Amino acid sequence: MTRRKLAVGGAVLGCTAALGVPLGLLWWLLAPRPRVTVGPDGGIVPVPVSDADFAVDGYFALIMMGAGLVCGYTVYMVQYRLAARDASDLRMVSLLAMAAGSALGALAAWQVGTLIDAGEFGRAVEAADPGTVIRSGLRLQALSALMAWPFVAVLQYGLFDAVSLWRGDLPAERRAAEAAHADAGADDGGDGRTDPEDTEAPHGEEARGSG
């Protein structure tokens, strides 16, 4: 059972973290690029300020929250079906693996999106004169957006688990309840047949008493 839990946890962690690569590409495709000014020392000055500066972080946060919703639902339903086969409890290991995989996936998405633009943006800065306004590469300024994916995934997962607890249909608990019910029925009713001597004895005693 421990080996099975480790296998399930490793699969959940790996699959969840691997989603960061295509999500990083999606962020790179959708997010706008703000304008920046090349400073006198070759640095970057974040002016002029526009909506694109905030939209970059907004797109990343929305993509991460969408991934969290999908992962929370998918991981819970997959572990539920796996646990129903042998009445095992895979909830905690799946939750921890999903949370860790989501955090790694968010980091991967951030790095993939920024690294694609890094080379072109670096060459544009080197070729530009001080004071020139150029298009910036993809950058994530609000690093707190990295927590959107694991936070929403854990929240979604916990919501489904709470509903299952309320309904009492967890695979392990349901199998245990069915076994207890079957044992109770066997102890109380046996095979459901009654010995004829047990039913006739009271009538015989009544006859002797009346005589």
What is the model's pLDDT at position 11? 95
Q: How many domains does the chain have?
A: 1
If you average pLDDT over residues 174-183, what whole number do you get?
55
What is the model's pLDDT at position 174? 61
Within a domain: 197: no
**Segments forming the whole domain that contains residue 147:** 2-171
What is the model's pLDDT at position 46? 77
Q: How far apart (Å, rounded) are the C-alpha atoms in residues 115 and 56?
A: 15
pTM of the model: 0.77
Q: Residue holding tokens 């929250």?
A: 65
Q: How far apart (Å, rounded) are the C-alpha atoms in residues 113 and 124?
A: 18
Within a domain: 204: no
Half-sphere exposure of 180 (CA within 13 A, CB side): 6
What is the model's pLDDT at position 18? 96
Can you read off the two tokens belonging to residue 138?
A: 């993809």
Can you read off the two tokens belonging to residue 164?
A: 């299952």
Within a domain: 108: yes
The mean pLDDT value of the chain amounts to 82
Within a domain: 178: no
Is it the case that residue 200 has pLDDT exceeding 70?
Answer: no
Within a domain: 28: yes
Within a domain: 119: yes
pLDDT top residue among 139 and 209: 139
Within a domain: 37: yes
Burial class (CB in 10 A: 0-12, 13-18, 19+), 38: buried
Is it the case that residue 192 has pLDDT exceeding 50?
Answer: no
Within a domain: 185: no
